[in-house]
Amino acid sequence: MDVVKEILTKIKMYQTIIIHRHQRPDPDAIGSQAGLAEILRESFPEKNIYQVGGPVEGLEFLAQMNEVSDETYKNALVIVTDTANSPRISDERYDLGAELIKIDHHPNDDPYGDLVWVNTKASSCSEIIADFYHLNQDELVLNSNAARLLYAGIIGDTGRFLYPSTTPHTLEVAAELMSFDFNPAELNRELEQIPMNVAKLAGYVYQNIEVDEQGAAKVILPQSLLDEYGIVDSDTAAIVSLPGVIDEVLAWGIFVEQPQGYYRVRLRSKGPVINELAKKHHGGGHPLASGANAKDQKEIKAIYEAIQKLCKEYKK
């Protein structure tokens, strides 16, 4: 039996299904998680379906999380979406269930779970969930809210169909989702709009970005600056892609100081593969979009030098 059928069989077997996603969720984490939850609620109204995890950090308009007791995990099927590594799963009770399924589109470095469905060619985990519905259309029902959530995940992870992970299939899936009853333009606005303090931070990013002659760029955002602008870590999602519009920038790192003193590193690239570099610094991710951590300025320097090297090799 292929893994898709096996997953559906497991879903049908369990009365309680709890769906997790990664910490610091982005629209694809919430979209794939809550989108799957909506499909299962609509398809199996007699089952108990929960979506769980920590704060959704500015994405409340997409979905709210459910509160679940430890007891609920007994005899439950747990599904984790969009999460490559088990330490990044939000709500560490994910392994309290009877069985665990991983559904993801990141490289499968940590194949946790009794069943694993990973498709690194998918633009987003939401695209995989839409495929899951499609492949089982005779047994599953997709409602408008599920369509809205999955659409949000796809536009989130593709930068509105801009990034190279966008395929003809992505557009076919998005077109089908768009035919459901929700307002895609309003959803785009909700996802794209930023408060004034984040707009001012965008100004800071453009004023202070450093780019070398090979196109390697960096921006450091110290905690004192974030405090001055009234910015919290999750707000920085809106500025991560900004250096990409500068013609001479090829790959970049945004180093966001955390209240604990270490730096969250957000790496992006238009060509050089940066996820191996991320893995060397307690991180991981996609070939062109990864995250890592730097403990101090010395590690920031080492990461930036590595980006410079990757850009140089890429341009050879």
Closest CB to ligand AMP among residues 110, 190: 110
Q: Are 282 and 267 in contact (CB under 8 A)?
A: no
In this chain, which residue has its C-beta nearest to ligand AMP?
A: 291
Q: How far is the CB of 184 from ligand AMP (least distance, A)?
A: 23
Q: How far is the CB of 83 from ligand AMP (least distance, A)?
A: 7
Out of 30, 173, 288, 289, the only residue in the binding site for ligand AMP (CB under 6 A) is 289
Closest CB to ligand AMP among residues 5, 280: 280
| Residue 243 binds ligand AMP (CB under 6 A) | no
| Residue 218 binds ligand AMP (CB under 6 A) | no
Which tokens in the block code for residue 110?
């940590």
Q: How far is the CB of 43 from ligand AMP (least distance, A)?
A: 28
64, amino acid identity: Q
Out of 266, 272, 299, 310, the only residue in the binding site for ligand AMP (CB under 6 A) is 266
Out of 30, 284, 304, 308, the only residue in the binding site for ligand AMP (CB under 6 A) is 284
CA dist 89 and 268 (Å) reads 22
Treating both helix axes as pointing N-terminal to C-terminal, what angle do 168-178 and 125-135 enclose, rounded to 10 degrees? 70
Q: What is the 3-state secondary structure (H, E, C) of 234-258?
A: HHHHHHCCHHHHCCCCCEEEEEEEC
Which tokens in the block code for residue 291?
């995250």
- Comparing C-alpha atoms, which of 133, 132, 123 is closest to residue 158? 123
Closest CB to ligand AMP among residues 244, 283: 283
| Residue 234 binds ligand AMP (CB under 6 A) | no
Q: Is 36 left (phi over 0), alpha (psi -120 to 50) or beta?
A: alpha
Specify the DSSP element, H or E, that contains 225.
Answer: helix 223-229
| Residue 119 binds ligand AMP (CB under 6 A) | no
Q: Are 33 and 66 in contact (CB under 8 A)?
A: no
Out of 10, 88, 102, 148, the only residue in the binding site for ligand AMP (CB under 6 A) is 88
| Residue 84 binds ligand AMP (CB under 6 A) | yes
Q: What is the 3-state secondary structure (H, E, C) of 172-213?
A: HHHHHHHCCCCCHHHHHHHHHCCCHHHHHHHHHHHHHCEECC
| Residue 25 binds ligand AMP (CB under 6 A) | no
| Residue 291 binds ligand AMP (CB under 6 A) | yes
Greatest pairwise CA separation for the chain in angstroms = 61
Closest CB to ligand AMP among residues 104, 140: 104
Q: How far is the CB of 90 from ligand AMP (least distance, A)?
A: 12
Q: How far is the CB of 203 from ligand AMP (least distance, A)?
A: 21
Residues that bind ligand AMP (CB under 6 A): 22, 84-85, 88, 106, 240, 266, 283-286, 289-291
